[in-house]
Amino acid sequence: MAEISSLREIAASVRSRKSLAVDHVEYALSRCEASQNSLNAFTYIDRDRALRAAAAIDAEIAAGKTVGSLAGVPVAIKDIIDHKGWPNSYGSGQPAVFPSRSATCISRLEAAGAVIVGRTGLHEFAFGFSSENHWHGAVRNPWDLRCSPGGSSGGSASAVAAGLVPVSLGTDTGGSVRVPAALCGIVGLKVTHGRVPLRGVFPLASPLDTVGPLGRSVTDVAAVYEAIAGDDPRDPWSVPRKVDKIGPPADLKNITIGIPDPWGSRPVVPEQRIAFDAWIEALRVAGVDVLHIDIPELGPSQLIQDGIYFEAAHVHRERWQQDPNQYGPEVRDRIKMAMQVTSGQYLKALESRRATRAATLRAFQTVDVLATPTVASLQKRIGNTEVDVLGEKVPYAKAKSMFTNMVNHIGFPALALPLSGISLPPPSVQLIGKEWSETRLLEIGMAMEKEGLTVTQQPPYWQPEQIDYDPAKNE
């Protein structure tokens, strides 16, 4: 069948019986399976179960029943989110768990008619930014198979960028949706903490964890967001707050964007800085009011790491005490460092979070959104621990997270959007909204997409038929 790339096109076609969910799911499955040797985006694909789910949707529609907004849409989910009866590995080397019930976000996806086709690879226990997994192998980037797709939701981003599925789910604790979205040239949404229930999602740092969609357009990401957002009384982190319906694209002439200094001006690779500056100028031409705002509290701080490490140590303490060697080398080193963070350091981190949050809220009295580059470096070679930023060797995790991790600590939503540019992958911009402003943030993103200020491109060289890809011969 001919590919229909848009989520909304697939769902509309299936609901109107112009096409069958089974055909869309079969097409996605064939591409997912054919890509595994080159991308390694999945830890698990269940063809039979996915096709049965798709057939059930077709049967409901044939019987005249109403099916939801994601009818027949193939979706991939990060292998740290529970799906009833499917193995959940957490990206670890330990035996997979077979949950007896699905995470709230998965139940909501399926209730909307989505079909889960597989579980995507990630950084072990979501504790990292490369998705180079010691146990399951490195996930690869369709823009350059020698490179990481970022992490920790690397498989979710790789699958979408490669056109295997139109949308996927990831988790974001310090940038784990937005970083791979940026490195794979797609759209990724980090929600306000408490907006999407965490029930059934293995934690990294629960006070910071979020679940969010990745897609090839803001419109598609918005559709998944509408399906999964909202209160779950069974989830202790969920907030009983109304989810506003997403309207048409915003009027850019009524938007004020703030560039937070000095945070937004931190060193980035030239292709990212050139594209970001050109995008700012294009915004001004389009009638957007752009202001530079001084928010020194958003600068780098050791307290960011102290906060997340203390919370991660709490999650892993019992496993760690049983046997530290059950973790892969990189994550083992991180957890060892996490175990050394004291309660006093953690309290200082919490104090810093509150102060930074307050300073950012004051900034939102004068702007609608804040904007920064999404990452400081657009590529990371698999196996390398550092990246080059303006001639300086920088730890890859620092370069990937310097614009994203603070957003989790203040709890606000953010949207990663691809820009036009000559680099592979293309540059990316991060829009940050005030808490609970996902609807407005997505409407602004849709407006930028409509006006061509952001654009999603296809990786020019990758094809799923590259089944004979040999990393050793292509480095």
Annotated active-site positions, please? 78, 152, 176
Please state whether 390 falls in left (phi above 0), alpha (psi between -120 and 50) or beta: left
- Distance, in Å, from the CA atom of 432 to the CA atom of 415, rounded to the nearest integer, reads 7
- DSSP three-state, residue 381: strand
Angstrom distance (rounded) from CA 216 to CA 31: 17
In whole angstroms, give the CA distance from residue 81 to residue 285.
Answer: 43
Q: Dmax of the chain from CA atoms?
A: 63
Report yes or no: 184 and 156 within 8 Å, Cβ to Cβ: no
Rounded-to-integer distance, Cα 396 and Cα 34, Å: 30
DSSP state of 383: T
CA separation for the pair 115, 60 (Å, rounded)? 14
Contact 338, 317 (CB under 8 A): no
Q: Where are the beta strands (DSSP E) in 341-472?
A: 369-373, 386-389, 392-395, 414-418, 428-432
Nearest alpha carbon to residue 90 among 411, 407, 316? 316
Tokens 């590995």 -> residue? 89
Alpha-carbon torsion angle 441, 179, 422, 255, nearest 10: 20
> Is residue 315 within 8 Å of residue 203, measured between CB atoms?
yes
Q: For 351, how many CA atoms within 13 A lie in the half-sphere containing its CB?
A: 7
Torsion on CA atoms 239, 242, 246, 251, rounded to nearest 10? -100
- Which pair of structure tokens corresponds to residue 402? 């310097």
* Alpha-carbon span 361 to 192, nearest angstrom: 14
Record the tokens describing residue 361, joined without a space.
Answer: 């809220």
Task: Quote the CA–CA distance of 191 and 208 in Å, as a whole number.
Answer: 11
